[in-house]
Amino acid sequence: MTGPRVRFAPSPTGYFHVGSARSALFNWFVARQVVDGTLILRIEDTDTERNREEWVDGIVESMNWLGLTPYEGPFRQSDNTAAHQAAVAELLDRGYLYFCDCTGDQVQARKGDNKTPGYDGFCRDRALAQGPRTALRFATPVGGSTVVHDLIRGDVDFSHGVIDDFVVAKSSGAVLFALANVVDDRNDRISHVIRGEEHLPNTPKQILLWEALNLTSGLVTPIPHYAHLPLLVNEQRKKLSKRKDPVATEMYRDQGYLPEAFVNYLALLGWSSSGEEEKIDVATLIREFRLEDVSHSPAFFDVKKLLHLNGTYIRELSPEAFIERAQPWVSPSTSAWSPQEYQTPWPVENFDPELFGRVAPLVQERIALMGEIPAMVDFFFLADAPRDDDAFTKTIATSEVAQAVLRDLVEEFAAVNWDAETLHATVMSVGERHEWNLRKAQAPLRCALTGRLVGPPLFESLVILGREETIRRIEMAL
């Protein structure tokens, strides 16, 4: 007995949606659970008006970034046009299809006030010949129903009375999604179709086509097991919107989410592990995942929860792994990949790998995204501190006490031992001299040295920055 054969079949019509990433992941889980399981990546590129080649590249790059390998492909649906046309000819020859020359306006005029959606079957018995305006429709059986045996939702019964005679090929001869999808799944011997719930209404049509092809083609193949994944929703519990919500997987990659954290989070959108932990390694996810345990209720895509989980993964990296994973943001010219249209805030020649190695442990505990690293360390690699004008005005320029604290620190720093503990005590002592606590005394010093009010641990940063540079930047701020 061979293992499951699943396919992920996205259309290259936009960025790689997080819902598509979740579908790809659940397919991958099923394929990886047995030694001979197979995942096929099939690009459904027959919509020539909307397809773009860069979207294909985005799909492949995102799949590889998430670690959803190995897979067969990517194959292109457009390469199977001959098989699609052969299926049309077989179905037409056996009477499952008929030609229709109705326009949308004509159909609506016949229906009048009848709000029932779908085609009214007007051309079913007209025996039209093929013409320049004739599409091909499937003659849906009269009476009865088609049951979708869904692994997540149970049996879903679709009455044939609500399935219109749907179009399978345009007048141009182009075969549409419903039939092309079935032909490809049959040729690829797909055992499980795992996709979003928006495809559930298509499924009875595809089952009808599958059964018809079993009778006409001479090739009888079993209908796949279907599993329709729950909708992903935003904070308002509305379907994720491409326009309003952050849905592009590439965006999360460029911001600095770790792929293992992203995979972990996607896995928990509609499914949960048997344990209490939310941080779950991929081997455990593969072992425990079952389609039957996926909920059919909408899943909330909580970016805050994802961000927290990502920070946990970052903090658990070894120092060496953190430095390596930081390269796309600190030294993109030496990295195999870097965020789109990204440049470091410092000149490339200013970057010092050894210095970053000393700084990295200070940063690792403070960030939730790898993309936050440059703003945390840029002051080490710039000739002068960057300047947040609002912070500088509020913290230094309009505060006589802050200026007095900085003047005293210049004098003190010239003579003290240059270690974090001594520097901490010195700033505390100077602050008390001016009736400020440590937190208030640190603010103008941090702003003078780093240009901001947040950053890596201050006194450890002073040690790395050095006595001479520290005093120079305070004097420049004054």
Encode pLDDT of 422-440 as tens digits: 999 999 999 999 999 999 9
**What average pLDDT does range 154-175 have in this prediction?**
96
Calculate what percentage of the chain has a pLDDT beyond 70: 100
**What average pLDDT does range 131-152 have in this prediction?**
97
Look over the chain and give the mean of its residue pLDDT values, rounded to a whole number.
95
> Which pair of tokens denotes residue 159?
């009455």
CA dist 427 to 380, 387, 430, Å? 21, 22, 5
Predicted local distance difference test score (pLDDT) of residue 221 = 96
CA dist 478 to 398, 463, 472, Å? 11, 21, 10
**What average pLDDT does range 11-38 have in this prediction?**
96
**What average pLDDT does range 50-63 have in this prediction?**
92
**What average pLDDT does range 171-180 have in this prediction?**
95
Whether pLDDT at 131 is above 70: yes
Location of structure tokens 């949308």: 104
**Contact predicate 301/234, CB 8 Å:** yes
pTM of this prediction exceeds 0.85:
yes
Residue 229, Cα to own-chain centre: how many angstroms?
16
**What average pLDDT does range 254-266 have in this prediction?**
98
Predicted local distance difference test score (pLDDT) of residue 2 = 81
**What average pLDDT does range 115-143 have in this prediction?**
93
**What average pLDDT does range 92-101 have in this prediction?**
97
Predicted local distance difference test score (pLDDT) of residue 199 = 96
Active site residues: 242
CATH topology of domain 389-477: Arc Repressor Mutant, subunit A (1.10.10)
How many CB atoms are closer than 10 A to CB 410? 14
Whether pLDDT at 29 is above 70: yes
What are the tens digits of pLDDT across the range 444-478?
Answer: 999 999 999 999 999 999 999 999 999 999 999 99
Whether pLDDT at 134 is above 80: yes
Predicted local distance difference test score (pLDDT) of residue 276 = 83
Whether pLDDT at 415 is above 80: yes
- Among the residue ranges 51-55, 68-72, 159-163, 372-376, the one predicted with the least confidence is 51-55
Predicted local distance difference test score (pLDDT) of residue 116 = 72
Kindly state the greatest CA–CA separation across the chain. Answer: 101
Residue in 335, 389, 353, 366 with CA at minimum distance from that of residue 460: 366
Whether pLDDT at 275 is above 90: no
Whether pLDDT at 79 is above 60: yes
pLDDT band per the 50, 70, 90 thresholds, residue 1: low
pLDDT band per the 50, 70, 90 thresholds, residue 304: very high
Whether pLDDT at 15 is above 60: yes
Calculate what percentage of the chain has a pLDDT beyond 90: 91
Range(s) within the chain of domains with CATH label 1.10.10.350: 389-477
Whether pLDDT at 76 is above 90: yes
Backbone angles phi, psi at 231, to 5 degrees: -65, 145
What are the tens digits of pLDDT across the range 346-400?
Answer: 999 999 999 999 999 999 999 999 999 999 999 999 999 998 999 999 999 999 9
